[in-house]
């Protein structure tokens, strides 16, 4: 009964949630605010978007799949997302296209601890690896281990939900999928010696950790707004690289609850990975990643590259 | 019986009305499938994914079964302790009630760390939710016995053990079954929460994974399966209840109209 009422309420609310547009450009983060987003906050706080003639509203998702859904439904104009998740959403049929890049390298990989006797990746043979989401993560970790000659029969995959670090530290698993700029300094701060294996060093194609996506309809309707957003973000990135210390203070001023040792360390690690310019033009990388996901059964069909991303907003630099 | 069938017809008609509104609404307002899929699409996915839903549902059902066993046996034991020992009642009852103020969501991640990622952590989460209505209803049931009856039995020199088996337990059964019906419904929620925190199989796991893959229709198909499992379990408890309580004079059975829960 309660389910029926719930569905009724959702049905009534849905038309209001979908498809109205306000003058401010609504930008939804891929996750909570983290140091990954410093250039975006810098651009907003320093008035770079204002200089370009647009107002922005930075939103935090309630659920990791929200940014893609809401951008497709045009409840937000721009969403931040990992490139891989975007390719998956695209293959699921969501009307989306990538218009730029915030972090141009992968940040993921496998994290273990020295105290578990792991020094090289092949040491994970016969051990347990924790992951959060199937089928993507198992595919990535299988690729990595296969590159050092460990087949999927030789290790065990355990779903540990989103509590990855706790499951690693309590030794419920021997390694977890992790980010080099977050979980690695996190376990180090807790007094453990992290051993991290970057995914791109072990056979996983190169990818962008955070890209910017929008509904293709918006490119037709408001190209100047999008161009202004990408230009403002590019200035944010440039400012961050030139004044890393000031940029961090601006970010922490906007997000005071994040001012701790972990986030400061995470920022230091992230600094070299912000995109060179906020546009993106890396056809080969897109092609390889999409082919890789298709080959491993993560996506069911491939999409022409010009429907995946556009470089029309690329700034001249 | 005729009244029973009539009430089912009413339920079915209302359900049909809601589903039609939903279906029409989705098409009329062009609601995208990744925000709210139409019922026709959900049913289609439900039937084409039956083997998948079945294999995940079996795991969830096993967790629910184990959780129910732990929750019910623990709950009844606690209720007996509380009933027979006023000292332990004042010691335990506040904690039992406080335990329900803690959101299971908050402690589920820890339970998973303590009990591992297998069957036991989910069964524990389910048991933690299930035991409360069992305890409360069993205690109420045990207390429901008319004190004059007990006085009479005492004057006949009945032993407390005899009073328990011949009077108290039968008298508290209806109340215990009320607790069981609540508990069995909640156990579905408990097992699902346990699976959200970390699992390799199960309908809760399937929901999380499908949501991440933006297969929202499969999320709804999992919800549908979960509801069916819940209804099935509820009906099972109801059938056992009717069988077991046949000795009660049928016309005094509290007969609320129909089974539309």
Q: ipTM value of the model?
A: 0.71
User: B95 burial class (0-12, 13-18, 19+ CB within 10 angstroms)?
Assistant: exposed
Domain membership of residue B134 (yes or no) is yes
Instruction: Identify whether the C-beta of residue B23 lies closer than 8 Å to the C-beta of residue B36.
Output: no
pLDDT at A20: 43
User: CA of A315, closest CA in chain B: separation in Å?
Assistant: 32
With an 8 Å Cβ cutoff, are A160 and B198 in contact? yes
Instruction: Identify whether the C-beta of residue A161 lies closer than 8 Å to the C-beta of residue B194.
Output: no
Residues of A in Cβ contact (< 8 Å) with B196: 161
Q: Averaged in consecutive runs of 10 residues, what is the pLDDT profile of chain B (261 residues)?
A: 78 94 94 92 96 96 96 96 92 89 85 85 93 94 89 88 90 94 94 86 91 90 96 94 77 49 44
| Nearest chain B residue to A130, by CA | B198
Which token pair is A194? 């992290």
CA distances (Å), B139 to each of A126, B7, B82, B84, B171, in order? 51, 33, 7, 10, 11
Instruction: Identify whether the C-beta of residue A248 lies closer than 8 Å to the C-beta of residue A38.
Output: yes
Domain membership of residue B133 (yes or no) is yes
Give the domain ranges of chain A.
10-105+207-307, 108-201
Residues of B in Cβ contact (< 8 Å) with A69: 34-35, 214, 216
Q: How many CA atoms lie within 13 A of A120 on its CB side?
A: 6
Mark which residues 169-188 of A lie under 8 Å from B by CB: 170, 172
Nearest to A14 among B29, B112, B200 (CB): B29
What phi-psi label fits residue A304: left (phi over 0), alpha (psi between -120 and 50 degrees) or beta?
beta
Residues of B in Cβ contact (< 8 Å) with A64: 212
Domain membership of residue B30 (yes or no) is no
Domain membership of residue B189 (yes or no) is yes
- Could you list the pLDDT tens digit for every one of the 317 residues in chain A? 556 555 665 555 554 554 444 478 999 999 889 999 999 999 999 999 999 999 999 999 988 888 999 999 999 999 999 999 999 999 999 999 999 999 999 999 999 999 999 999 999 999 999 998 878 999 999 999 999 999 999 999 988 887 789 899 999 999 999 999 999 999 999 999 999 999 999 999 999 999 999 999 999 999 999 999 999 999 999 999 999 999 999 999 999 989 999 999 999 999 999 998 655 557 889 999 999 999 999 999 999 999 999 988 876 54
pLDDT digits (tens, 9 = 90+) for B133-154: 999 999 999 998 888 888 898 8
Which token pair is B105? 């969501």
Give the CATH number of the domain where residue B187 resides: 1.10.3720.10
Nearest to B18 among A4, A161, A166 (CB): A4
User: CA of A249, closest CA in chain B: separation in Å?
Assistant: 33
**How many other CB atoms sit within 10 Å of the CB of residue A147?**
14
Nearest 5°: the CA angle A38, A277, A288 is: 105
Domain membership of residue B69 (yes or no) is yes
CATH architecture type of domain A10-105+207-307: 3-Layer(aba) Sandwich (3.40)
Nearest to A65 among B22, B31, B211 (CB): B211
Query: Nearest Cα to A140, choosing from A132, B131, B32, B230?
Result: A132
Distance CA A216, CA A228 (A): 16
Please indicate if any CB of chain A lies within 8 Å of the CB of B22: yes
Please indicate if any CB of chain A lies within 8 Å of the CB of B118: no
Instruction: Identify whether the C-beta of residue A142 lies closer than 8 Å to the C-beta of residue A160.
Output: no
With an 8 Å Cβ cutoff, are A92 and B214 in contact? yes
Asked if CATH classification 3.40.190.10 holds for the domain at A108-201, the reply, yes or no, is yes
Nearest to B113 among A134, A159, A167 (CB): A167
Domain membership of residue B59 (yes or no) is yes
Domain membership of residue B251 (yes or no) is no
User: For residue B118, what are the domain limits?
Assistant: 43-246
User: CA of B215, closest CA in chain A: separation in Å?
Assistant: 7
Please indicate if any CB of chain A lies within 8 Å of the CB of B259: no
Query: Nearest Cα to A66, choosing from A26, A35, A9, A38?
Result: A26
Instruction: Say whether A214 sits in a helix, a strand or coil.
Output: strand
pLDDT at B254: 53
Overall domain count for chain B: 1
Domain membership of residue B259 (yes or no) is no
Nearest to B200 among A10, A15, A159 (CB): A159
With an 8 Å Cβ cutoff, are A161 and B32 in contact? no
State residue A210 phi and psi, 5-degree precision: -135, 120
pLDDT digits (tens, 9 = 90+) for A232-279: 999 999 999 999 999 999 999 999 989 999 999 999 999 999 998 655
pLDDT at B250: 54
pLDDT at B200: 80
> Crossing angle of helices A261-270/A244-254, nearest 10°?
140
Give the single-character DSSP code of A316.
P
Find where tokens 């400061």 sit.
A264
Instruction: Identify whether the C-beta of residue B204 lies closer than 8 Å to the C-beta of residue B60.
Output: yes
Residues of B in Cβ contact (< 8 Å) with A73: 32, 34-35
Distance CA A170, CA A9 (A): 42
| Nearest chain A residue to B210, by CA | A134
């Amino acid at each position: 009964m309660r389910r029926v009422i719930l569905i009724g309420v959702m049905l009534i609310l849905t038309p209001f949630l979908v498809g109205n547009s306000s003058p401010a450009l609504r930008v939804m983060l891929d996750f909570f605010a983290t140091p990954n987003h410093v250039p975006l906050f810098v651009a907003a706080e320093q008035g770079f978007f204002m200089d370009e003639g647009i107002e922005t509203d930075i939103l935090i998702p309630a659920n990791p799949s929200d940014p893609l859904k809401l951008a497709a439904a045009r409840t937000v104009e721009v969403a931040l997302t990992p490139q891989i998740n975007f390719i998956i959403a695209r293959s699921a049929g969501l009307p989306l296209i990538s218009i730029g890049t915030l972090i141009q390298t992968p940040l993921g990989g496998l994290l273990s601890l020295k105290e578990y006797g792991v020094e090289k990746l092949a040491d994970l043979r016969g051990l347990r690896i924790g992951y959060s989401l199937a089928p993507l993560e198992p595919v990535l970790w299988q690729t990595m281990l296969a590159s050092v000659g460990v087949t999927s029969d030789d290790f065990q995959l355990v779903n540990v939900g989103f509590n990855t670090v706790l499951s690693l530290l309590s030794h419920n698993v021997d390694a977890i999928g992790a980010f080099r700029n977050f979980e690695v300094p996190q376990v180090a701060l807790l007094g453990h010696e992290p051993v991290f294996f970057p995914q791109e060093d072990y056979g996983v194609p190169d990818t962008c950790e955070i890209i910017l996506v929008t509904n293709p309809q918006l490119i037709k309707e408001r190209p100047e707004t999008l161009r202004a957003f990408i230009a403002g973000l590019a200035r944010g990135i440039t400012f961050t690289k030139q004044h890393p210390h000031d940029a961090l203070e601006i970010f922490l001023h906007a997000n005071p609850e994040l001012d701790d040792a972990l986030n400061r360390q995470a920022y230091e690690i992230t600094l070299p990975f912000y995109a060179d310019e906020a546009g993106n033009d890396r056809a080969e990388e897109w092609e390889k990643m999409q082919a890789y996901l298709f080959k491993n059964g993560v996506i069911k069909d491939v999409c022409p590259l010009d429907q995946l991303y556009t470089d029309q907003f690329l700034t001249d630099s | 019986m005729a009244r029973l069938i009539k009430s089912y017809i009413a339920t079915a008609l209302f359900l049909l009305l809601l589903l039609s509104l939903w279906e029409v609404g989705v098409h009329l307002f062009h609601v995208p499938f990744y925000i709210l899929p139409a019922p026709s699409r959900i049913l289609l996915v439900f039937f084409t994914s039956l083997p998948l839903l079945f294999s995940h549902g079996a795991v969830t059902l096993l967790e629910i079964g184990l959780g129910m066993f732990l929750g019910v046996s623990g709950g009844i034991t606690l209720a007996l302790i509380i009933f027979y020992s006023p000292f332990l009642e004042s010691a335990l009852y506040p904690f039992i009630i406080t335990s329900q103020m803690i959101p299971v969501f908050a402690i589920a991640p820890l339970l998973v760390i303590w009990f591992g990622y297998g069957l036991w952590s989910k069964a524990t989460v389910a048991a933690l939710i299930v035991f409360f209505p069992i305890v409360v209803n069993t205690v109420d049931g045990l207390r429901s016995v008319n004190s004059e009856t007990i006085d009479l039995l005492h004057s006949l020199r009945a032993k407390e053990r005899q009073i328990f088996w011949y009077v108290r337990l039968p008298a508290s059964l209806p109340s215990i079954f009320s607790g069981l019906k609540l508990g069995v419904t909640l156990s579905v929620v408990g097992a699902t929460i346990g699976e959200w925190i970390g699992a390799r199989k199960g309908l809760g796991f399937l929901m999380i994974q499908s949501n991440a893959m933006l297969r929202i229709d499969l999320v709804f198909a999992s919800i549908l399966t979960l509801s069916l499992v819940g209804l099935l379990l509820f009906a099972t408890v109801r059938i056992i209840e009717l069988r077991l309580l046949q000795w009660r004079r049928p016309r005094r059975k509290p007969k609320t109209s129909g089974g539309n829960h």
